[in-house]
């Protein structure tokens, strides 16, 4: 008997909506995912997933390893098309991964504009590097950069593309504690300045609460919990409300007091 095969479907909007001046009252999503499924052999990693991200919204995605977080991010980045379902994303989007992925045979500024159309524009690269605080490294080789400087270069490479959607796949995971705090502060400042939508994949609950407007907890390929973070910025980890939200998310992740919720 012949079997029917559902063809993978990916829809990219022809032009992203203009960035809003504020983050309230926005109804048209920058990202719209409906009925998204992704299989690797017999294993279904994403299961009929629905997700919206508003223009200018900062969303953090938490979950255990293997739950589907990075798979979703790769699909939104158009790095994985073997899907079923509908995915709408802005044309202008950029990705920063845990590893900076710099080309060692190109100087820092040339890494920043790598892949952009036209001739390499040093002034444009320099402006992006200045924004992340390492313009003095523009003519250096990647091998002389510290881990924090390499990650800042990766962020500059994303920002120079003027994205409407910035996808961050655990970009601070390999940094030491102090450098990580500085990098988190930098991303928060850049988001406020540029107003693009951000999806941050992370294992760090505190990081998610510090940075995001909304936190999604993924379990077994579905969104098990959504937490809106209404705390004023800048946020204080010593704030009792911060601790309460962090505790709720830890509970949903099953890592506090042995308590777990059903997905």
Q: What phi and psi values does residue 48 have, to the nearest 5 degrees?
A: 50, 50
CA distances from 129 to 47, 118, 158, 160, 233 (A): 39, 19, 11, 9, 25
Q: Are 92 and 116 in contact (CB under 8 A)?
A: no
In a domain, 208, yes or no: yes
In a domain, 18, yes or no: no
In a domain, 84, yes or no: yes
- Look at residue 5 and tell me whether its pLDDT is greater than 80: no
Q: What phi and psi values does residue 242 have, to the nearest 5 degrees?
A: -60, -45
Candidates 141, 137, 158; CA nearest to 104 is 141
Q: Give the integer Cα–Cα distance in Å for 260 and 189.
A: 34
Is residue 119 very low, low, confident or very high in pLDDT (cuts 50, 70, 90)? confident
Pairing, β 165-169 against β 93-96: parallel
- Look at residue 39 and tell me whether its pLDDT is greater than 50: yes
| pLDDT of res. 65 | 86
In a domain, 24, yes or no: no
Q: What mean pLDDT comes out for the span 37-66?
A: 94
Angle at 43 between CA 40 and CA 44, to 5 degrees: 90
In a domain, 201, yes or no: yes
Indicate the pTM of the whole model.
0.86
| pLDDT of res. 12 | 52
Pairing, β 165-169 against β 58-62: unpaired
Q: What mean pLDDT comes out for the span 32-59?
A: 95
Q: Are 55 and 88 in contact (CB under 8 A)?
A: no
- Look at residue 206 and tell me whether its pLDDT is greater than 70: yes
| pLDDT of res. 186 | 93
In a domain, 262, yes or no: no
Q: Give the integer Cα–Cα distance in Å for 167 and 169.
A: 7
CA distances from 186 to 106, 125, 152, 170, 175 (A): 25, 18, 9, 15, 14
Give bridge partners of residue 88 from the DSSP assignment. 32
Q: What mean pLDDT comes out for the span 50-67?
A: 94
- Look at residue 154 and tell me whether its pLDDT is greater than 50: yes
Q: What mean pLDDT comes out for the span 219-246?
A: 94
| pLDDT of res. 20 | 45
Q: What phi and psi values does residue 7 have, to the nearest 5 degrees?
A: -75, 140
Q: Give the integer Cα–Cα distance in Å for 24 and 235.
A: 19
Q: Give the integer Cα–Cα distance in Å for 180 and 156.
A: 16
- Look at residue 115 and tell me whether its pLDDT is greater than 60: yes
| Domain coverage including residue 52 | 31-253
In a domain, 7, yes or no: no
| Length of the chain as a residue count | 263
Q: Give the integer Cα–Cα distance in Å for 170 and 181.
A: 13
| pLDDT of res. 27 | 56
Give per-residue pLDDT as tens, 125-134.
999 999 999 9
Q: Are 198 and 191 in contact (CB under 8 A)?
A: yes
- Look at residue 113 and tell me whether its pLDDT is greater than 70: yes
The domain total for the chain is 1
In a domain, 260, yes or no: no
What CATH number should be reported for the domain holding residue 157?
3.40.50.300
| pLDDT of res. 84 | 93
Q: Give the integer Cα–Cα distance in Å for 227 and 233.
A: 17
Residue 130's SS3 state is helix
Is residue 172 very low, low, confident or very high in pLDDT (cuts 50, 70, 90)? confident
């Amino acid at each position: 008997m012949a079997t029917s095969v559902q063809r993978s479907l990916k829809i990219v909007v022809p032009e992203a909506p203009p960035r809003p001046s504020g983050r309230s009252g926005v109804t048209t999503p920058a990202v719209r995912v409906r009925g998204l499924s992704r299989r690797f052999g017999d294993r279904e990693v994403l299961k009929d997933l629905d997700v919206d991200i508003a223009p200018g919204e900062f969303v953090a995605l938490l979950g255990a390893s293997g739950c589907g977080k990075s798979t979703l991010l790769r699909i939104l980045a158009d790095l994985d098309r073997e899907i079923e379902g509908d995915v709408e994303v802005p044309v202008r989007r950029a990705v920063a991964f845990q590893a900076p992925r710099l080309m060692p045979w190109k100087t820092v500024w040339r890494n920043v504009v790598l892949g952009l159309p036209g001739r390499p524009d040093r002034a444009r690269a320099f402006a992006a590097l200045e924004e992340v605080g390492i313009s003095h490294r523009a003519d250096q080789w990647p091998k002389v950069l510290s881990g924090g400087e390499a990650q800042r270069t990766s962020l500059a490479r994303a920002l120079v593309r003027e994205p409407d959607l910035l996808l961050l796949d655990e970009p601070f995971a390999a940094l030491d504690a102090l450098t990580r705090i500085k990098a988190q502060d930098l991303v928060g400042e850049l988001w406020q300045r540029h107003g693009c939508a951000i999806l941050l994949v992370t294992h760090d609950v505190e990081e998610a609460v510090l940075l995001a407007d909304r936190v999604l907890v993924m379990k077994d390929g579905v969104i098990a919990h959504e937490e809106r973070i209404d705390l004023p910025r800048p946020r204080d980890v010593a704030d009792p409300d911060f601790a309460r939200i962090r505790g709720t998310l830890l509970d949903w992740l099953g890592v506090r007091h042995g308590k777990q919720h059903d997905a």
